[in-house]
Amino acid sequence: MIARLLRTRPKPAEPAPPRAMRLEVAGRAVTLSVVENARARRMTLRIGAGGRRIGVTVPPGTDPRAVERFVARHHGWLEERLARLPDRPQVRPGVKIPLRGVPHLVVHEPERRGAAVAETRDGVAVLAVGGDRRHLPRRIADLLKRAAKADIERLVAGHAATVGRRVRAIRYRDTSSRWGSCTADGTLSFSWRIMMAPPVVIDYLVAHEVAHLEEMNHGPRFWALCRTLCPRTDEAKAWLKRNGDALQAIAFD
């Protein structure tokens, strides 16, 4: 299957998002992402996203069979590392899920109909979810997607106007390998999970991807532009590095 991933991956001018497949390791369902990197000199393996993802970075043109052997050699190491991780936190009544950085208590009200709603009750931030208990995680995920569409489209419009660039399209996904991406044709993609982060982090992510419309790299000019669009870039970047895996680990399935 890894061979198929590398054989079928297109070769665009700009780096493409990693191709992914599902594996089971140490009793966990995880995503294995294989991505070629022009700067890579050897294959590397990384566990990320709270154990949701295993990333393999390979030099361009790496034989898919070599990748298969590399992953097989490290299977025991993967099992050991994943077995140490705590179980993925499940979205259920009584837990707290952050929305725009504010923890919200999940409340299930079976008699209530309609989508999940964020509200405040006696000073407590609440996510009220009605209907069948089985649909509760999906309905909270849908709430985050609606919030992403509302906030991110507004932020994109503002930052794109600042740099004088046109955005072709905005897409929202549940990506385990990256928080956002920008293609050469001006398509921006974002993980809707970013809506669990504080507003400054959301703004940073949007500024980061919009800056790629001008600079398709991570050089000094890119970071200067990113900091112009979002003056708190360094603070937000550090927050995402510290807390990003925890947000990726929350199980909405």
- pLDDT value of residue 30: 78
Instruction: Indicate if the alpha-carbon torsion angle 92, 96, 49, 209 is positive or negative.
Output: positive
Average pLDDT over residues 228-252: 93
Grouping H, G, I as helix, E, B as strand and the rest as coil, residue 57 is: strand
**Are the C-beta atoms of 214 and 244 separated by less than 8 Å?**
no
**Are the C-beta atoms of 78 and 54 separated by less than 8 Å?**
yes
Q: What is the pLDDT of residues 23-57, one digit of tens each?
A: 777 676 778 888 888 888 999 988 876 677 788 99
Stated pTM of the model: 0.74
Q: What is the pLDDT of residues 140-199, one digit of tens each?
A: 999 999 999 999 999 999 999 999 999 999 999 998 768 999 999 999 999 999 999 999
- pLDDT value of residue 7: 45
Mean pLDDT rounded to a whole number for the chain: 88
The answer to which of 54-68, 92-106, 209-223 has the lowest mean pLDDT is 54-68
**Are the C-beta atoms of 223 and 207 separated by less than 8 Å?**
no
Rg (CA), the chain: 20
Domains of the chain, start order: 2-84 (no CATH), 96-249 (3.30.2010.10)
Dihedral pair phi/psi, residue 179, rounded to 5°: -85, -25
Q: Burial level of 105, CB count in 10 A (0-12/13-18/19+)?
A: middle
- pLDDT value of residue 182: 95
Helix (H) / strand (E) element for 193: namely: none
Grouping H, G, I as helix, E, B as strand and the rest as coil, residue 92 is: coil
Average pLDDT over residues 46-70: 84
